[in-house]
Amino acid sequence: MKHLDENSLVDKVWEFGKRNILDDNQYNIDQKNLRSLRKKAADLGLTRIEIPKNQGGLGFNFKTRSKIFGILSTFDFGFSMSIVNTHSAALRLSQSASPQIIDYFLPKIHEDGESACTAMSEKDFGSDFFSIETTAVKNKNDWKINGQKEWIVNARHAKLAIVFVQTKSAGDKNGIAGFAVDLNDANAKRFEINSSYSQNSMGTGGFVLKNYTAKSDDMILPPGVAYKAILNEINLARVYVGSMCCHMLQHLLEITKDYGNKRASFGKKLFTHQSWRFAIADAEVDLTAAKLMVEEAEKQVAEQKDSQLSAAKAKIFATNVCQKHFPILLHKMGAAGFHSQYPFSQYIPAVQMASLMDGSTEMLLERVSRQS
């Protein structure tokens, strides 16, 4: 792939979103064309942003990943979550898998546009990660995996799943391991999850593994290492989810201010009404604070410092301010805000999902209260 600097990649992502996701300037992603969109995103390099250049990646850092998927979320939050999860799984393979596993899966992701997922959550266990019940039992030279995963981004269509399992007794964090699993295998049965808040572009679903055979090389994160690796990845996810929220709020502010400068009410432009301006100003103040918190977390990640607390705070604040201001900005737009040329109807449910992903707001508040 031809070398790109960050600014060039940013420009290409904006152009990609405008050309491929917006449908005649409507925020209505083509659900029938998602496979093609994933392939185009891979061709652009979005599944290899942080992968080193000597492994065929773009060689950027985490801050760039956070920024790029923040931009992509302004076009469709679900699609951005889908691609960033594929990226995370590909990055994990590049760091931890054997050459055979890398050579099998990564070309399918980077060249063919296949998606990938990281599977932790189960029916009864989400944030309570150490209590997972999916098991892997050693059987001579291989492992037998049994269990069910739910609420997994990309599970509807992913080729690769990095599946976290328990290899020892229930609740033992040192027994947790991560396996590269081919979800197209006959012993893997996937299912969709649909809800009123679901965005199909996220590909949320689950799968059942029944006597799935995994070779020794398929274990990419051994017991004693896996739980530390996944806690770090969850931490990074909290930061880029915060970035996505900031970018969505920034975009809605731009839309609302533009509308307020054009739309007249009782003979005056909306922007001339003080109460209308105050709502905009309040959102801009909160957005500035949220951006600073996300940037601080990104800085700590870059410096390889313990960013658990800053990541939690950034995600809490960014999701909270979006939950507060998205409905207010919609109200300032009036009925016009419901038109599909504006993303309010997409963003409002999206931020509800964001507040639950990678640790709910309540769980993160508990963590902050214990560490402060």
Q: What is the pLDDT of residues 168-195, one digit of tens each?
A: 988 899 999 999 999 999 999 999 887 7
b/e sequence 61-81, b meaning 16+ C-beta within 10 Å: ebbbbbbbbbbbbbbbbbbbb
Q: Which range among 35-39, 128-132, 298-302 shows the weakest confidence by mean pLDDT?
A: 128-132
Range with the largest mean pLDDT of 32-41, 137-146, 314-323? 314-323
Q: Residue 196 above 70 pLDDT?
A: no
H-only helix segments in the chain: 6-16, 34-44, 62-73, 77-96, 99-110, 226-262, 274-302, 308-333, 344-356, 361-371
Mean pLDDT of 33-47: 95
pLDDT of the residue at 198: 58
Q: Are 239 and 70 in contact (CB under 8 A)?
A: no
The one-letter amino acid at 205? G
Architecture of 117-223 per CATH? Beta Barrel (2.40)
Instruction: Find the mean pLDDT for residues 254-279.
Output: 90
Give dist(CA 206, CA 152) in Å, integer.
Answer: 6
3-state secondary structure at position 144: strand
Quick one: what percent of the chain has pLDDT higher than 90? 81
Q: Which CATH architecture has domain 227-371?
A: Up-down Bundle (1.20)
Would you say residue 101 has pLDDT above 60?
A: yes
Break the chain into its structural domains and give their ranges: 6-114, 117-223, 227-371
State how far the alpha carbon of 264 is from the alpha carbons of 220, 267, 341, in Å.
Answer: 60, 6, 19
Q: What's the pTM? A: 0.94
pLDDT computed for residue 193 by the predictor = 85
Residue 266: count of CB within 10 angstroms of its CB: 6
Q: Does domain 6-114 have CATH number 1.20.1630.10?
A: no
